[in-house]
Structure formats: structure tokens, C-alpha cells
Structure 1
Amino acid sequence: MPRLPLLIDTDTGSDDAVALLLAVSGGDVRAVTTVAGNVPLPTATRNALITLELAGHSGIPVHPGCDRPMTRPPSTAQHVHGPDGMGDTGLPDPAGRPADGHAVDVLLTLPRSRPGELTLVTLGPLTNLAAALLRDRELLTRFRHVYCMAGAADLCGNVSPTAEYNVWADPEAAAVVLRAATPGRVTWIGWDVSRRYAVMTPGDQRRLEALGTPLAAFAHRINRAVADWARDVTGLAGYNLPDPVAMAVALHPELVLGSERAHVAVALGDETRGQLVIDRRRAAPPPNLTLVRQVDEPGFKRLLLDALTPACLTEGPA
């Protein structure tokens, strides 16, 4: 069966890196674009290169993009992922270098050359995609589908009481994407999904360690800082994996057990910054998004462990 052609936009922190491992295991990644978010742009680009090299896919081009939100100063999540975005595990510099070409140009040109072929998966703030949409209002129609790890449909946030980080970090960009979105083409998988269906419990973590592969060891090590934050701040029974579960849905839509179509906007005010405004009234405007609400948790975790089981082509950190 042909692998799903993917274009991935990421602010590569620790869970983004695991999502990249899932992507190269089950998809055909044509390019990776990076954006400021979890970490500054150079760090996000470095982490993407490291991850792809570890997985034996150094040939995938990594294109740096926007280094700050559209109108706001940058606000990283290094307090969650560590200053290096990878749990401060002392990863060596990548052998490769970023590819030529700005991420926004790549987002514009690749789908034009392959209309309807590529699936776009965004794992960070939506700055690159919004910048591309300002140049091509029909851009979303050129992809087979667009999946975004974005928002919190239950209004239980991780960076504020009601907002998820990717939307909160650049809400103006999220608003641009929402104005262009249609539910048959754009699906958001939010923080609420990972908090309920993608938590790596202590038992899951032991199973991950027991795989004994370089990829599994890498995935476990880089998420140790996130595990501490999840325990102390969100009170989860382990660390959750928002970006990997979003990637899993893109690769295997059959994992979705519940979803809704709704008209969604985003709050831009200081007190409610990044909160989704979901209009479920009978008289609401037409839906613009599909919101994933429930995922097959055992199926997701099997997929994750399977992706980390094959021996890596290059030795990674133990």
C-alpha cells in the first residue's frame, strides 16, 4: 500500500520529535518546515535535523520558516521541554544543514506542483501556514487534507486556563487559518485529545523502555522534562503526546472514534487569548472545522510502539 505523502510543519520540541518518528515510519515525508514556538527557530530546525538523522532519513529537506508570531513577541515553551526543546539531553549537533528555501515558499510551491496529493500536518503555531495563506487564499484546497495539532475543544488549556499553546502562541495566525478552513479539508486534534487518549502512564513508559531500540531510548529520554511538568502542572498520570496523536490521526484516520463539525473562531483578547470560540447553536455559521474529540487509545499506543521498534539505521543516544 502506498505511503501517505506528507508535508510537516513543526516547532520541534520533544513530542514533535516523536511525531516525526511516527511520520517517517508510516508515511512518505517529502519535506519538513520549521517555525518558532516551543523553542526559537534555529533550535526547532536543529531538533528536526537531529531526529530525522537518528531515524535514518537525513535526506528529507528541513526548511526554516518564521522566527516569530505574526504580531506578538515570541513566547516559547522551554519551561516545559527544556532550553534545547529535547529535555536537555545533550544531543550532538546534526551532521546535515537546513535546506535552501523559506518554509512559507515551500508550503506554497509543493502543493501547487502536486495538487491534491500532499497531506499537511502542523505541529506548532500556525504562523508559517497563515503567512502562506495571506499569499494564496486557496492554499488549503491544494492539499489532500490538513491536520493541525491545535486548540482545546473542551476549553481546558495547558498555557492558560482555557487555551492550548500552539493557538495561544500566535492566535492571529490561527484566526487566518480558521477563516480559510472548511471541515472537509481541515481537521484539528487538540490538547483535550492528548490529555484523554495519549498519556504515557508509568506502565506505558516501562513498555517503551523495554523495546530496547535507539529510537525508543531517544523518545523516552527527550520527554523526561515534559513528564516532570505534566506531573507538577497538569496533574496527569504520565506525560501526554499531543503531536504524536495528531500525526497518528493523519496517518490512520480510522483511529478517530468521535468528532464534530463546528464553526470555530479564536479569541484574541488578553484575558482569553488563544481560547477557541466554538459555535454549536442551531443558528451558527456553517462549520469550518472538523474537531477530533475521541481517539482509539490502545490503537494509538500500538502504532507508537511499533514505530519505535525497528532498529535505527544510525546509532542514537542511549
Structure 2
Amino acid sequence: MSTLRPFFIDTDTASDDAVALVMAFARDDINIVGIGVVAGNVPLSSALQNALYTRELCGRTDVPVFAGADRPLIYELGTAQHVHGNDGMGDIGLPLTGRTPNDGHAVDALFEASNEYAGELTLVTLGPLTNIALAIQRDPSIADRISRVVLMGAAADHIGNVNPVAEFNMWVDPHAVQIVLESGLPLEFVGWDVSRRDAVIVPEEANRLRSIGTPRAEFTIDIQRIVAEYCARDTKLAGFDMPDPIAMAYAIDPSIATQTRHLNLVAECAEGPTRGMVVMDLLGFTGREPNAVVV
């Protein structure tokens, strides 16, 4: 067994995803065996360029990046470009063109990683779950080979950021969410409620981080420009929150969680005001067995 922990990261790369990637790239105890990209925050082509740019900035062109699904299983793609900027990276003029992903599809890459690192692999999902659902549909036994799945998604308080009750990643492709919830994968959800409570970067903190003065420090703050405006205007937070970085932090070190619960989760797939809500049976009313850990 390798001394490095193998991670496969699935992302719809925009501003907070990029910070999560920077965090993972910086670890010397993690072997990032692949990055799958999915449409979500931005269209697939932009999400790919954002992942490739971040990989290059961090000097980690050794890590393969693969294109995945360009749309949800059933619904048309809805993006969050009003949150992250048209390019997903704050529209600050970064050169986000011209880079080429590795050959092959993200789903195939995930299968290869699950076979090579069977029983060891940690899967971290930072975006919609389309790629993961496609993998399960192809071969449900993949669930037996993945040691841990850390997902940024849902909200234990059922407060939404795309409708009254749904978190964006779950809303984009709720059918994929339900497939994943029924898969038997060892799921650990880090929700938007955790980000709002524990991962808000106030302006003073942002300035302090940027003042570190390295290219990565400046990058991680500068690309939050549109997000900061969105949070001030729409979510009324004291700064900008970082959902994907806190999920990555938990994936790297689960001991940071002060509370976890084993719950039964179900996704609302129907179009309407509750589309994408992940219903968490907090009090055990349904009698169904837990299918996820909720941080």
C-alpha cells in the first residue's frame, strides 16, 4: 500500500473549486491520481480551462485532467456564472484558453483509478455528480472499490442558494444525486450550511491572505471578485464563503469536523420550487437506513 493517499477530484472548476485544487496540490501526503471535470458552475469548456490553468499555476502539470459530462443527466445545464463570473474565475483577465486536457473521459479515468487503488481511493466531488452517476450506471461495483467519498453539496439546514431549499451542485443534476445516494458508496457530505457558518472570509482576512504575496495567494483571493459581490448582495454574508475549500479541508483531515451524523438522504428530482433539495431525515421519521455521513 502506498504511503501517499490517492485522491481523485471531480470538479466544475470555478473560483472556490480552484482554491480547493490549490490546497490539494500543496499537500505532500496526497497523490492526486486524476482530476475529472464536469459542467456546472460554468460550461465544461470553461471548467476545463480553469482546472488546467490552476494546475499550471501550481506547477503540477504531472496531474492528469480529464473532460467529463457537458450536461446533466436529464435537465438542461444551469450555470452559476452570475456567482463566479462569466469565466468562472472572477473575470479578472486570466489567460484561460489554449490548454489541452489529457486524452480520455473522466468516467474512464475514475474507473482506472478505482481499479489501481481499490480500497484506498478517496473521491472528492466539488461540483454536480453527473460523472459519478455515469460511472455507477456503467458498473455499480465501483462503489466497492472506493474507500471514501467526500462531497461538497446539500445543506443540513435546508437553506438553498439557487432556490429556497437547494444547494447549487445538487440542483444542477438531482437525478445524479439520487443515483449516488442509492449506490452504496461511503458518502460524507459537507454542505453549504457548513460553508456559511465556518468558511466565510471577511475582507480583513482576505487582505491578510493576499498580502502573503505569492502568485498562489494573490490568485486565490483575486478570483473571488465576483463571488464577493454576490455574497454581499444576495447571501448577505460578512465576506465570501468557500464551500469547496472547506470540503477539501475535511477530505484532507476529517478530524477538523466537530460533529458528524449518519442520516438517510433523498434528493428531490422533480422540477419545481424544491428541485435539488436533499432531504435529510434528521429525526429518523422514515425509518430508512442511513446512507451518508453529514458533517
The verdict on a shared fold, with TM-score over 0.5 as the criterion, is yes
Q: Which moved more, 1:93-102 or 1:130-139?
A: 93-102
Cα distance change on mapping 1:7 and 1:104 into 2, 3 Å: same
Q: What is the DSSP-based 3-state SS (H/G/I as helix, E as strand, rest coil) of the residue aligned with 1:248?
A: helix
Structure-2 separation of matches of 1:224 and 1:2: 38
Is the Cα–Cα contact under 8 Å of residues 140 and 146 in structure 1 kept in the other structure?
A: no
Structure-2 separation of matches of 1:217 and 1:126: 30
Paired residue type of 1:265: V
Structure-2 separation of matches of 1:235 and 1:282: 33
Determine if the alignment matches structure 1 residue 23 to structure 2 residue 24: yes
Is the Cα–Cα contact under 8 Å of residues 34 and 110 in structure 2 kept in the other structure?
A: no
Q: What is the DSSP-based 3-state SS (H/G/I as helix, E as strand, rest coil) of the residue aligned with 1:203?
A: helix
Structure-2 separation of matches of 1:45 and 1:31: 13
1:91 deviation in Å? 1.1
Q: Normalised by the size of structure 1, how large is the TM-score? A: 0.88
Determine if the alignment matches structure 1 residue 32 to structure 2 residue 38: no
Instruction: Show the counterpart of 2:221.
Output: 220
- Aligned equivalent of 1:149, options 147, 152, 156: 152
Instruction: Show the counterpart of 1:173.
Output: 176
Is the Cα–Cα contact under 8 Å of residues 6 and 117 in structure 2 kept in the other structure?
A: no
Instruction: Show the counterpart of 1:308.
Output: none
% identical equivalent positions: 47
Cα distance change on mapping 1:95 and 1:268 into 2, 3 Å: closer
Instruction: Show the counterpart of 1:53.
Output: 56
Structure-2 separation of matches of 1:115 and 1:167: 27
Is the Cα–Cα contact under 8 Å of residues 164 and 273 in structure 2 kept in the other structure?
A: no
Instruction: Show the counterpart of 1:119.
Output: 122
Count of aligned pairs: 290
User: What RMSD in Å do the two structures reach over aligned CA positions?
Assistant: 1.4
Structure-2 separation of matches of 1:181 and 1:221: 39
**Aligned pairs (5 A) from 1:1-318:** 2-26=3-27, 27-93=30-96, 96-181=99-184, 185-269=186-270, 270-279=272-281, 280-281=283-284, 284-292=287-295
Q: What is the DSSP-based 3-state SS (H/G/I as helix, E as strand, rest coil) of the residue aligned with 1:254?
A: helix
- Residues 277-313 of structure 1 show CA distances to partners (whole Å, capped at 9, x for unaligned) of 1123255211000000xxxxxxxxxxxxxxxxxxxxx
Structure-1 separation of matches of 2:117 and 2:286: 38
Unaligned regions of 5+ residues in structure 2, if any?
A: none
1:97 deviation in Å? 1.5
Is the Cα–Cα contact under 8 Å of residues 17 and 47 in structure 1 kept in the other structure?
A: yes
Paired residue type of 1:10: T
Unaligned regions of 5+ residues in structure 1, if any?
A: 293-318
1:113 deviation in Å? 2.1
- Residues 124-172 of structure 1 show CA distances to partners (whole Å, capped at 9, x for unaligned) of 0000000000011122221121111011111011111110000000000
Paired residue type of 1:36: A
Q: Which moved more, 1:77-86 or 1:202-211?
A: 202-211
Structure-1 separation of matches of 2:134 and 2:188: 19
Is the Cα–Cα contact under 8 Å of residues 108 and 136 in structure 1 kept in the other structure?
A: no
Q: Normalised by the size of structure 2, how large is the TM-score? A: 0.95
- Residues 21-79 of structure 1 show CA distances to partners (whole Å, capped at 9, x for unaligned) of 00111222111010000000011000000001000101111100000000010000001
Is the Cα–Cα contact under 8 Å of residues 208 and 216 in structure 1 kept in the other structure?
A: yes
Paired residue type of 1:6: F
- Residues 220-258 of structure 1 show CA distances to partners (whole Å, capped at 9, x for unaligned) of 110011000001000000000000000000000111111
